[in-house]
Each structure stands twice: as C-alpha cells, then as structure tokens.
Chain A
C-alpha cells in the first residue's frame, strides 16, 4: 500500500489496473472520491479508504452509486477535483443523475470510473456493456488497455474535464482492472489536509429546467463536437502502420493487447488503429484510415458498438469495404487471445494450430459459503421449514451462493434490492408464499424504498435481512449499519459485535429503519442459532402484513480478521 504513495518519478513498479487508476488520480491531485463497492472496481475505494488520511483526499463509501455520483456532483460544483467509482450496474443506478450532469457539466474536473465485467466473472445480473450510456448521456468515454493507460487516461480524463467542463468516463473491463504490469511513476501531489471548495451560485449553469434545459442540450452537443476535434488530434487514437492494403484492424481496450499478441504469434505486420476514445470518436481519422483498405476487422468485446459506428463512417469514405467483426467473433463472453489469433488467421489465410485440444474433462470447484459462514444455518433452517411451493427470492451479495448446490434455493434473482420489490409483485399477483432474502449493505443500497412499498401497498412477503456486519462479497467495506464515521475514518461499530462500541455514536440500525417503514412483524434472530430462525419463520410466515426477520451473525472472514 505504501508503494502506491511513492514519490519517486521515473520508477517502474507493478500495479494492478485499479491501483494505477488510484495512482493517476493522486498524480492529478484529486480532492474528493466517492464510491459504492462493486467488482471489478472495488479495490479503488478500498485503497482510498486506507490512504485518505495520509494524502489529504476526502473519501467516502456512499450508500449506493447514485448517491456516490451526487456527492461527486456536489464536490465538482464546489470546484473540487472529483473521482467517482462504480461497476457497470452502478451506473444504471446512477443514471438518473448522470444525464442532467452531462447538461450542467462539471465545474471542478470530474472523472467517473465504470468497470464492466465481460464474461460475468463477478456479475450475476447481466453482461453489461456500459458503452451504451454514451448514446443516452453524450459523456466522453476513454478505454485503457493496461495499467499504464489506466494511470495515463485517468490523468487525461481530469485534463479534458478541466478544459471542457464535462465529466469523463474511464471504462475498464475485468481484464484491464485486474491486470497487473509495470507502470512508470510520475510526481504525486500530496496535500497536508483535505482541501475545501466553494460553491459559487450560478443558476444558469446548475439548474436544469425548461426552457433552459433545451439550450443546455444544444450547448452539450456543441461541446461534444469540440471534444471530437480534440479526439481527432489526440495521440491515444493512434494508427500503427500504413493506412492502405488488404486488411486493417480497428480495436481498443484489452482487445488491442490480444491483437498485438496475435500479430506476434502469426508473425504478421498489419496496420492497427488503436482507439483510446470510445466517445467522441475521431471520425475523420477513422474515415482516412478505412479509405484505402479492402477489408477492415473490428475487434471489440460484447456488442458491436464500434463496428456499427464504422459501418456508418464507411458509407461516406469507402462504401465497398468489407467489414468484419461480430460475424466472426462472439458477442457473448469475453474475448481471449486465441479467439483474436484465429480471427486474424482466418482473414489472412494464415495457419495457426492449437495444441492439446482433444481433452474432454474439466473440473471446476463451485464457490460456496465459507466455513463458519452465518448463512449456512440460515438457509438450511429456512429451506427445511418453508412449505413446498414457497417462492424464494434472492438478491446481490455472497448469499447468491444460496442458488447453487447444496441449497439450490432461489426461484428468482435480479438486481440490487429487487428481491423485495419483486416479492411484492408476486404477492399482489398470486396466492403463493414468498420469502425474499436481502443482505445488509444491499438493504441500505436499494431495499428500503421496496420495503416501504410493500407496507404502503399492503402485501405480505416474508423478508429476511441477512446482516453479517459488512459488505462481504466485494471485500468487507463498511456501510451505514456497521460503522460510524469519525474524521476521515470508518470505525467498525455493529450491533452484532457490541464489545467494540468505543465511539459515542452508534451506526444506523436496520431494525430502526424497518420499524420506521411501518413494519409491525419484526423478529431479530441470531444467524448461528437455527432454532431461533425456525421459530421466527413459523411465527411470521402466515402473517397478513409485511414481515421482516433480521438474521444477524458476523461474516466468518470478517470475524477471522478481527481476531
């Protein structure tokens, strides 16, 4: 951790993509950082939470990504250099505040990190391609390939934001965020204390209301065209090789590394246009590149957003060009270097043979609850007790593992907080029993409005809030139910661990919120005591009103680390 704070310009150290983003923000002199944890972006917040005191940067774990973005907007409006960090799905949550932010623009430079997860290595709900937000928000998007670019593009993002007064999104993917490689350090701007900004009133700039809002849209579109000129000249949109011949390749992000690998493997030299910008694209530069090729191959992961743009641009500059992309590469799952090698081999008639392809078996260990996990006994008890045909709703967190062997429990699982909202809908539509599970951090994130809705609109699912004292799945971040903020640090203070209570304040208790939402049937149980669980479920399963059980028991990994 100390290494990331080294002020040793020119030194080369190995950094993870996410660490390089932190370093880039520090080299830019970031003042304000907010996040809600989500893999593959979680380390960024974890690192800031550990170094914030030493470097004079304000940092917070916000209750969800929308609130994290809004905190960042407030900081930027107050003139501070601001970083907001989230995974792909986080931007869905934050979207409502993202779109007006594009209209108002930023004041203090602002960078958003959005981490996608092709192949759903750590994502349950969908294989999201956050590039699509460009079409809604118009916000510029840069795509680094490796840790060095993670650092460089973060810095460039701040520079662009400063120049054009618009937030800049750095979109990473798992194989960039969790790739490590040597990175060359530059000077870090260490501040002795947290800097304060100043909110200067400027209604014309910060209030989006008709009729002004339409003027703002016009201004935004004009701004994007200016940024496009910047993109045309930018060295991160870079042609490698000549711009004529049989086949040219256009690529970006981690796919670029696979293209370079493929050319090395195949011993080929082909022109590559490497794009650092996804938006706004350097359209003239692209048109010039594709003008004198017979074929162009677009190598990108997931949906063919780049390919569609290039099809559009080719209509003017080279309508006869043959465009290859998703006709030879999958739109589902991540790309692997061998996919790219084979695609390029196919178009160049090169031969490439992969060894040992005839093996039949592969053995994979399924993930499961850790030894000592409080969820073992909760799930065993509930499953044993609930009448057949009970519908079980899952949510996002470690307890997703309840959906696989040996519990095989959930009948539906969707997005953060949705177990409760969907349970209500099923209860209103059927006469079936529903038990919905939701974790502590997820409850704070998006469960509360759904709980209020079940009470307000009168349905009676049984909601089991699994309170393990931490945001476990993403690496044990604090949340409002487990911690109290003192100065720049979070002190772990949790109802399930009363021996700790060293501060005068107590965290926000989930049971207080549940009661305040109007829930009359509430039982608190010890997760490690199946008898208590059985009793509570029996008592509450047939109630006419919304019922909640809070099952409290510490995450086994957290308990181990506190020893």
Chain B
C-alpha cells in the first residue's frame, strides 16, 4: 500500500480530535505506521481547527505536505476551502453540509462548490449534521457519519471492522452505542 494522507478540518468543538484518534487507532490495528498532528488551546474556541493523519508502512512527517492530501474531511463547509492548500486534482473532498459564521465575509454553498470544482472533481457535499440531528437529535456525531460514508464508498482504505474496534477503544461506554449506530448509518442513506 502507498501512503494515505488525511486532513480533517472544521471549527473547535466538532470532535475533530476524537475522529483523529479513531482513524489512527484503526490504522494501527491494520498494522500501519501512523503519525498525526493536532492543535490545542485558544484556537479551539469556535475557531478553525485542522488536524493531520498519515499512515503508511513507515511515516515520517506528522504534517501532510502541500498538495498531498488523499482525503479532506470538512466538518464545516467553508473550511473545505482551507483544504485547497493540501489538495491535488486527485484529492477527495468529503464535506458536511453545515455552516457557521466566520465573522468575516461568509461564502455561500454555491460559491464554495464553484471554487472547489476548479481544483478537484471529487467533491461530495453530504448533509451529515442534518441526518444525525434527524436520527439522534444531535449533530455532535456528524464527523462519525462522514467517516462511515468514507469507508462505505472506499475513500478511506480502512475496513469497517477496524474502525468499529477503534471506536470501541476510544469512545466512552456512555456514547458507544450512538457512535457505532452513526458509523453504520451511511449504509441506510446511501443504498
């Protein structure tokens, strides 16, 4: 297998670090070397957050290089634009149809897509927050839904079993059921 590079971005409080932990744990279960980079502190207070996950037989840099992302998972739609830095025409953009105000000039969904399409053909805008809200009355698991979607569509070369084992290890007992159900939900909506 060749290296696999993931960028997850969104705003603070959307559970990016939980997603990072699940994916890296699943990669370790599948005997990959894995490295990640995350940021903590003030930037988390509703601001843009970006984490990096890389796996391969041997990984060196914890950061994905410019233009080298295989998958960009955006939990907030406008953040997908920040992902362009890491993208190539081969990059898959998997985007949650969900927006929060930037307190600067905000971009409409149309503008976001128009800009992304100039650089990649593989753009998937999925109403993960809406689906989770409808099914579970909370969108805190929207990232897990997108992860389920990515695995189902083969965007991420990790097996559902490894992801579920990783979820069981990372997620506290109390929320385990919700997370597993969410992960498996993509099947229902994408049949």
Taking Cβ atoms with an 8 Å cutoff, the residues of A that contact B are: 12, 14, 16, 39-40, 42-43, 121-122, 146, 174-175, 178-182, 254, 257-258, 260-261, 264-265, 336-338, 341, 354-359, 361-370, 398, 400-401, 405-406, 473-475
With most chain A CB atoms within 10 A of its CB, the pick from B40, B91, B107 is B40
A366 touches B39 (CB 8 A): no
User: Assuming A336-B65, A473-B42, is B11 touching A365 (CB within 8 A)?
Assistant: yes
Partner of B41, one of A337, A406, A473: A473
A-B contact count (CB 8 A): 162
Query: Smallest CB-CB separation from B47: which chain A residue?
Result: A367
Question: In the assembled complex, how far is the CB of residue A73 from the closest CB belonging to chain B, in whole angstroms?
Answer: 28
User: Assuming A257-B60, A261-B60, A361-B115, is B39 touching A174 (CB within 8 A)?
Assistant: yes
**What 18 additional pairs, Cβ within 8 angstroms, besides A14-B21, A367-B45?**
A179-B35, A257-B62, A261-B65, A337-B61, A338-B65, A341-B65, A355-B88, A356-B89, A357-B67, A358-B119, A359-B81, A359-B84, A362-B81, A363-B81, A363-B102, A363-B107, A405-B103, A405-B104
A179 touches B36 (CB 8 A): yes
A260 touches B115 (CB 8 A): no
Question: In the assembled complex, how far is the CB of residue B176 from the closest CB belonging to chain A, in whole angstroms?
Answer: 16
Question: In the assembled complex, how far is the CB of residue B41 from the closest CB belonging to chain A, in whole angstroms?
Answer: 3
Q: How big is the B interface, by class?
A: 35 or more
With most chain A CB atoms within 10 A of its CB, the pick from B33, B37, B42 is B42
Q: Render B86-113 as a binary contact track against A, CB cut-off 8 A, 1 for contact.
A: 0111010000000010111001000000
Partner of B42, one of A265, A359, A362, A367: A367
Flag whether B162 is at the interface (Cβ < 8 A).
no
Query: Smallest CB-CB separation from A371: which chain B residue?
Result: B46
Partner of B61, one of A261, A365, A369: A261
A356 touches B103 (CB 8 A): no
Taking Cβ atoms with an 8 Å cutoff, the residues of B that contact A are: 11-12, 20-21, 24-25, 28, 33-48, 59-67, 76, 78-79, 81-82, 84-85, 87-89, 91, 100, 102-104, 107, 115, 118-120
Query: Smallest CB-CB separation from A342: which chain B residue?
Result: B66
Partner of A359, one of B25, B60, B115: B115
Partner of A180, one of B35, B66, B82, B91: B35
B35 touches A264 (CB 8 A): no
B76 touches A146 (CB 8 A): no
What CA separation (Å) do A473 and B12 show in the bound complex?
13
B40 touches A367 (CB 8 A): no
Query: Smallest CB-CB separation from A124: which chain B residue?
Result: B42
What CA separation (Å) do A462 and B85 show in the bound complex?
46
With most chain B CB atoms within 10 A of its CB, the pick from A257, A354, A361, A475 is A361
Tell me which residues across on chain B come within 8 A of A14, comparing CB atoms.
Answer: 21, 24-25, 28, 34
Tell me which residues across on chain B come within 8 A of A362, comparing CB atoms.
Answer: 81-82, 84-85
Question: In the assembled complex, how far is the CB of residue A263 from the closest CB belonging to chain B, in whole angstroms?
Answer: 9
Partner of A400, one of B42, B44, B46: B42
B89 touches A355 (CB 8 A): yes
Tell me which residues across on chain A come within 8 A of B78, comparing CB atoms.
Answer: 363, 365
Partner of A364, one of B20, B38, B102: B102
Tell me which residues across on chain A come within 8 A of B36, comparing CB atoms.
Answer: 179-181
What CA separation (Å) do A258 and B110 show in the bound complex?
37
Tell me which residues across on chain A come within 8 A of B118, comparing CB atoms.
Answer: 359
Question: In the assembled complex, how far is the CB of residue A499 from the closest CB belonging to chain B, in whole angstroms?
Answer: 24
A257 touches B24 (CB 8 A): no
What CA separation (Å) do A213 and B40 show in the bound complex?
42
Q: 26 pairs across A/B with beta carbons < 8 Å?
A: A14-B28, A42-B41, A146-B35, A180-B21, A180-B35, A181-B36, A260-B61, A261-B60, A265-B65, A337-B63, A337-B65, A338-B66, A341-B65, A356-B84, A356-B87, A357-B66, A359-B85, A359-B118, A361-B107, A364-B47, A366-B103, A367-B44, A367-B47, A369-B45, A398-B42, A405-B104
